[in-house]
Amino acid sequence: WTTTPGPQNMRVAHNTFVNAVTNPDQNKETLAIALLRTSYKNVTFENNIIHQANGTIAYVVNEGGLIMRKNLWSRQPSAAASGAGDIVANPQLQNPNAPLVAGQVNIDWYKPLATSPAVADQIGPQEYLR
């Protein structure tokens, strides 16, 4: 969204974000989650797994209207990205740092292990990947 109003009545849930990168033409920094709008209305970001080996794990601008909660972060996010019920721990994914080679990426690499806090606390997409 580049104009107002910003995102409205939206839920981002049950996703796995692994070593995400931004557009190198816009930003040279590695950035997993970027929520940059200030005009959110009824937007929830919850029950997601965010594994980021390098760079900033989250950059969030929130002046109200954005709820962050129950996410599993591989590293401590900023205060604006943190929310009730969050967990900061190793997500224990199968092989999250495998090299990305076109045609050779395996969805199983991103499944939580049985010992993952995501499984114990029902965070992320594990129910879709069984």
Per-residue model confidence (pLDDT) at position 4: 66
Whether the Cβ atoms of residue 78 and residue 59 lie closer than 8 Å to each other = yes
Find the mean pLDDT for residues 85-105: 93
**pLDDT digit string, tens, across residues 4-13:** 677 889 999 9
**pLDDT digit string, tens, across residues 43-70:** 999 999 999 988 888 888 887 888 999 9
Pairwise CA distance, residues 104 & 22, whole Å:
22
**CA separation, residue 13 to residues 5, 85, 126 (Å):** 22, 14, 12
**pLDDT digit string, tens, across residues 77-88:** 999 899 999 999
Per-residue model confidence (pLDDT) at position 61: 82
